[in-house]
Amino acid sequence: MKPLLIIPFLLCSSAGAQQSVTLTPSKDTDVYAYGNGGYPTTSVATLGVNSTALSFMPASHSQESFIQFDTSGVTIPAAEVGKATLRVFVVNPNAEYGPLTPGNVHVHLQATDWGAIVPYSAPKWTAFNSAGEIGIIPILANSLETWVEVDITSAVVGWLNGSIQNHGVFLASQADFMTPGINVTFASMEVPGYRPQLVITKKVVPPVLSIASNNGSVTLQWPVATSTGWVLKRAESPAGPWVNNTETVSSSGGIYQLQPTMIGREFFRLAQQ
């Protein structure tokens, strides 16, 4: 008789099973570059990103936008962050400034405090202070009325572990003066249901399923402490179908263990419920 073959498998959870938190901004504003050193526009419901045509040099009519999130209450430790995503909703630009003009929106880590928002006064255009570009959001012709997003995990981990001061991010075009240009508008924090979002997802660390053999008897073992929400499954083939184990699992010293009864080749894995 051929020996029995037991292969332990690990299965990472699906995204839907991961622990996550979604933040909306603590403050946001766009800033118009022209006149008086720049100032926030009157459109509090929107955040603009647009460039100025080369023919207008040196008078800039560009817009950039600040977004800041309060991460002080996030309970996911920095070391356990799997991903952090910035999401913004694309809306129709103000007709006065022309239609949506596709292009790349560049996301920068803001290096310094940009202060309180004062209509027609602050923050100024000079408040934009990049600590480095951390991502790009491609805007297409069909991006209107859709969510677009960018991965900013490294920045958020820095905010959470204290290695980076949290002054938020700002959205900008590739250059102040450029032809062809870009003209994109996003919903601001003043628009319920469409506010910018920072989605922080906890890293999934699967429990380790191990195998031990002694005198022809096979024992499966996995830790109790990290197995909440995980279930042992078994199948006759890696392709499945996979079914929940129904044999009695014992525990001792913080370890689950099972000596499975088998009549042929069988596969095992831990899967999140």
- Checking if the pLDDT of 1 tops 50, the result is no
Report the pLDDT value the prediction gives residue 204, as an integer from 0 to 100: 81
Q: Under a CB-based contact definition with an 8 Å cutoff, are residues 241 and 235 in contact?
A: yes
pLDDT above 90 covers what percent of the chain?
68
Q: What integer pLDDT is reported at residue 253 of this predicted model?
A: 94
Residue-wise pLDDT tens digits, 172-205: 999 988 899 999 999 999 999 999 999 999 988 7
Where b means 16+ CB within 10 Å and e means fewer, 86-105 reads bbbbbbebeeebeebbebeb
3-class state of residue 125 by DSSP: helix
What's the whole-model pTM score? 0.76
Whole-angstrom Cα distance, residue 152 to residue 162? 16
Letter string b/e over residues 199-217, b meaning 16 or more CB atoms within 10 A of that residue's CB: ebbbeeebbebeeeeeeee
Residue 218, pLDDT > 90, answer no
Mean pLDDT of the chain: 89
Beta bridge partners, 187, equal 46
pLDDT at 2 over 90: no
Q: Is 80 exceeded by the pLDDT of residue 9?
A: no
Task: Say what the pLDDT of residue 246 is.
Answer: 95
**For residue 273, pLDDT beyond 50:** yes
Residue 28 reports pLDDT greater than 80: yes
Given a cut of 80, whether residue 100 has pLDDT beyond it is: yes
More confident position, 58 or 155:
155
| Whole-number pLDDT of residue 18 | 60
CA 181 to chain centre: 28
pLDDT digits (tens, 9 = 90+) for 224-265: 988 888 999 999 999 999 999 999 999 999 999 999 988 788
Highest mean pLDDT among 7-21, 110-124, 134-148: 134-148
Using one digit for the tens of pLDDT, what is the confidence trace for 64-91?
999 999 999 999 999 999 999 999 999 9
Q: Three-state secondary structure along 50-112?
A: ECECHHHCCCCCCEEEEEECCCCCCCCCHHHEEEEEEEEEEECCCHHHCCCECEEEEEEEECC
